[in-house]
Structure 1
């Protein structure tokens, strides 16, 4: 049976987020580096959960957030990610399907529970993430539905997935199928600490042509090419990738393709409440625009717009209908 057409297929860690506000002192006491993503075991997860204040639970994961944003814009997405056959897994699957995404990855039975991430939000809106991967790290090549990949315009993978060998092989399989079908393959570098762990492998993915498109923020791309200079990092991206989109915080973002460079200013933000999901929603806007044949500058504008919306409230997913909001802003 042939799968229907999808704009974007996200491949990522299927995680339920638990978001809570904390003071700076909490991070110091618990020896947490502000802004980092830490992989933790089940015992550490239970400990941090017991020490956190009241939290908000929401289905998340980096690529999952991107798929949510893309659906809110009116796109047709699909998602591959592993959950367990438990209550949190059922919640995650229901959330994905209710937003209109195709999600049919078989759940893990009799193994680790569904993944969860404690997102600690500092007073300045910065987020420090502590992730218990659980079942999501059990994504394997057999979970890659070839017909879904072949019928997706763009495959998008999160760098966080790169911590397990089976998941790496699953992505490589998806990339091969996508390219054989004439589709595009993209990756987000996810976190500068993630880049530090897998720099050589990420560079090999890019330089070998397994990946066509890179999403990153400024610290991540500097880490990738081991430079403190923005221009040097961007020029390296220009040399090694067909298309790159780099977020620059309050300076907006830059899209690079060959000799083309578009630096697009950030959208106005009344107050930064929580930066969780900013890069994920930027990718949602950019990928939606790209899948609809928009010019790169307009793709970056739409990415900036989506990122600006999500950082003005707690949580990694938009609180408004993004399509309606973008139409009012005359971006669609």
Structure 2
């Protein structure tokens, strides 16, 4: 049964504007980057790398914000908590998100750096290599939390990237306590293997304490969290401590385990992969929208796969097609 909460999902995440440019493999090699990965950079490196990039397109991004944008496109009620600065990119991010119908009124910061941006190099195979300057987004603190907003959502969705900064980590821990006290569910996305490598002990403690109801991970993140080399072994190990575990595997589809029951879906067919930016974010959007509609786990997986397919067939992480119509075509 669908929830009667005011919001389906309220997310806490990085408020980032993406800067996307086409790049060949030679640039990735010359910069010493690992294709398909994400790294954190400082302001000077952001300026230097931007000068090396080709013509770019700017659009609002951020992992959790992308998920909410997808959910809003699917007709779900969403709210966002994230930190921007009082600058032009901060205004762009705020407008882009609220124009989609997402509730977002975290006051902008007047100090602590400019609004975050992610410089994304997209190679001919559609892989995206992300270089993120966190700027103001990493300064999200407890004072920025809206307890009423968190308590009004059926699910609190947390972005693992924010676990790296002390202030935002403390804010997310408090948000979990607020959601728990209100009888709400907590969903968490691991975000990247480097996040798990740095904070795996925290995440394992949280799952063991049953603080996370829904955990999203890609295959590499799952292996890192479990400390295993085999997918099936890692899946079983982590699922033992998580009420609902969702693991994405790229072209090999996705798996969910809930209460010992396993559901699996193949990747949706696609002619050409244009840009994988936001694939995991939009998968989570489709899945959580299915949860909000009270659908079976198998349907939620299919909704996630459809949304992921739509996003990798275009440039950028915000859908340019009618996600609601695409899901209806697939599931009715």
What TM-score do the two structures reach when normalised by structure 2? 0.97
Which residue pairs with 1:39 in the alignment?
A: 40
SS in 2 for 1:203: helix
Superposed, which structure 2 residues align to 1:215-254 within 5 Å?
A: 215-254=216-255
> Deviations 1:111-153 (Å, cap 9, x if unpaired)?
3000000011111111110000000001001111111011101
| Equivalent residue number for residue 85 of structure 1 | 86
Which residue of structure 1 lines up, in the alignment, with residue 166 of structure 2? 165
Contact 1:36 1:193 in 2 (8 A): no
Identify the range of structure 1 (62-71 vs 247-256) with the bigger mean alpha-carbon deviation: 247-256
CA distance in structure 2 between the partners assigned to 1:210 and 1:239 by the alignment: 13
Unaligned runs of 5+ in 2: none
The answer as to whether partners of 2:218 and 2:247 remain within 8 angstroms in 1 is yes
> Are residues 1:189 and 2:190 paired?
yes
SS of residue paired to 1:57:
strand
RMSD: 1.0
Q: Secondary structure at the residue paired with 1:67?
A: helix
Tell me the SS of whatever aligns to 1:102.
coil
User: Is residue 139–residue 166 contact of structure 1 (8 Å, CA) maintained in 2?
Assistant: yes
Matches of 1:260 and 1:210, distance apart in 2: 20
CA distance in 2, matches of 1:85, 1:322: 32
Correspondence 1:94-105 to 2 at 5 A: 94-105=95-106
Are 2:151 and 1:150 equivalent residues in the alignment?
yes
Q: Name which of structure 1's ranges 149-158 and 318-327 shifts more when overlaid on structure 2.
A: 318-327
Match of 2:306 in 1: 305
Specify every segment of 5 or more residues in structure 1 that has no aligned partner in the other structure, as ranges: none
1:139 pairs with 2:140: yes
Alignment partners' CA distance in 1, 2:52 and 2:267:
36
Distance in structure 2 (CA, Å) of the matches to 1:152 and 1:128 = 33
1:310 to partner: Cα distance: 0.3
| Stretches (4+) displaced over 3 A | none
Aligned to 1:26: 27
* Alpha-carbon shift at residue 323 of structure 1 (Å): 0.9
**Contact in 2 for aligned 1:218/1:230 (Cα 8 Å):** yes
TM-score, normalised to structure 1, is: 0.97
Deviation at 1:284?
0.2
Q: State the match for 1:111 in structure 2.
A: 112
8 A Cα contact 2:121 2:128, kept in partner:
yes
Aligned to 1:8: 9
The CA deviation string for residues 154-180 of structure 1, in whole angstroms up to 9 with x for no partner, is: 111111011111111111111111111
Deviations 1:216-269 (A, max 9, x none): 111110011111101111101221111011111112110111211001111111
Q: Which stretch shows the higher mean deviation, 185-194 or 39-48?
A: 185-194
Q: How many residues align?
A: 328
